[in-house]
Amino acid sequence: MRRLATRTVLFHQAAAQSLGLFPTDLKSADLLNELGPLTAGELSEKTGLSSGAVTALIDRLEKAGYAKREKDPKDKRRVIIVPLTAGKSQVKQLFLSLSASTKKLTNEYKPEELDLIIQFISQTADIMDQELQLLKSKS
Amino acid sequence: MRRLATRTVLFHQAAAQSLGLFPTDLKSADLLNELGPLTAGELSEKTGLSSGAVTALIDRLEKAGYAKREKDPKDKRRVIIVPLTAGKSQVKQLFLSLSASTKKLTNEYKPEELDLIIQFISQTADIMDQELQLLKSKS
């Protein structure tokens, strides 16, 4: 797990760098795509970044065309950060080879084996989410 | 996998930040601990960072007490980056809760299931290694 975590961090660092972004920027854009529009406060909570860091991050994402600030149609006093599909193809391109290699690997496993692996990985992601909140609450 | 990658990057960002380091610094220190002393050139190759970025990184690691530059005892013309155990307890402390939660999760699986999961994760780490080199060769 630790070997994988190291490679994950390094790969995303290199990928973000090639897009002129910080690794957290790339993953925050990913988080927006995963969860849909969020307010800056919600993004701060989910990423564990300070509100100042999140403001700078949103500025960079807007500048790079990965997200934009919009008034919440449900509540005009709220500003939400909307993920943009523009620029996504560039990101997809970057992860294309990784996706292909991972797909090739998963083809070597039986469906019931993959079910087990997906369950474990999903549980690990839940743990990381909890640990991130824990880490944030301590700082 | 993508959900896990996002949480991994964000968790390491928060962990590194609480130590006054960049995520790549923390993972490079981890890499040194995993692979043993490396030259700056080797560290650049393994991390996918430019040689300028690696120099700055080693400076930060030295300053924070996670590594130090030493003459290679086997070849005095070479300078190697030696991981330091000092400061490790602080890092361990940070990952203690994550380790405990992960251990608890693995206890819910049978040994043969864990063998399968470990094999998959190890293969995925190998893929990330290859993809990092590929990404680096393109930039």
What domains lie within chain B, and their CATH numbers?
A: 2-86 (1.10.10.10)
The Cα–Cα gap between A62 and A28 comes to 12
Asked if B56 has any chain A CB less than 8 Å from its own CB, the reply is no
Query: A69, A59 in Cβ contact below 8 A?
Result: no
**pLDDT category, B110, cuts 50, 70, 90?**
very high
Residue B116 pLDDT exceeds 70: yes
Chain B: nearest CA to A48, how far in angstroms? Answer: 6
Residue A111 pLDDT exceeds 90: yes
Asked if A119 has any chain B CB less than 8 Å from its own CB, the reply is no
CA closest to A109 among chain B residues: B120
Residue A90 pLDDT exceeds 80: no
What are the pLDDT digits (tens) for B32-44? 888 889 999 999 8
Q: What's the mean pLDDT in A26-55? A: 86
The Cα–Cα gap between A81 and B1 comes to 24
Query: B127, A101 in Cβ contact below 8 A?
Result: yes
The Cα–Cα gap between A104 and A119 comes to 19
Asked if A45 has any chain B CB less than 8 Å from its own CB, the reply is no
Q: What is the pLDDT of residue B87?
A: 59
Listed ranges A16-25, A101-110, B54-63, B72-81; the one with the highest mean pLDDT? A101-110
Sign of the four-CA dihedral B36, B40, B43, B47: positive
Residue B139 pLDDT exceeds 70: no
Return the H-helix or E-strand segment holding B5. helix B2-18
What are the pLDDT digits (tens) for B16-29? 878 778 777 888 88
**pLDDT category, A87, cuts 50, 70, 90?**
low
Query: B64, B87 in Cβ contact below 8 A?
Result: yes
Q: What average pLDDT does chain B have? A: 87
Residue B86 pLDDT exceeds 60: no
**In chain A, what percentage of residues exceed pLDDT 70?**
96
Of the candidate ranges A42-46, B17-21, B65-69, the one whose mean pLDDT is the lowest: B17-21
Q: B interface mutation test: which of A98, A99, A107 has the most B CBs within 10 A?
A: A98
Q: What is the pLDDT of residue B59?
A: 92
Q: What ipTM is given for this predicted complex? A: 0.76
The Cα–Cα gap between B87 and B67 comes to 9
B3: Cβ–Cβ under 8 A, 6 or more apart, which residues? A34, A121, A122, A125
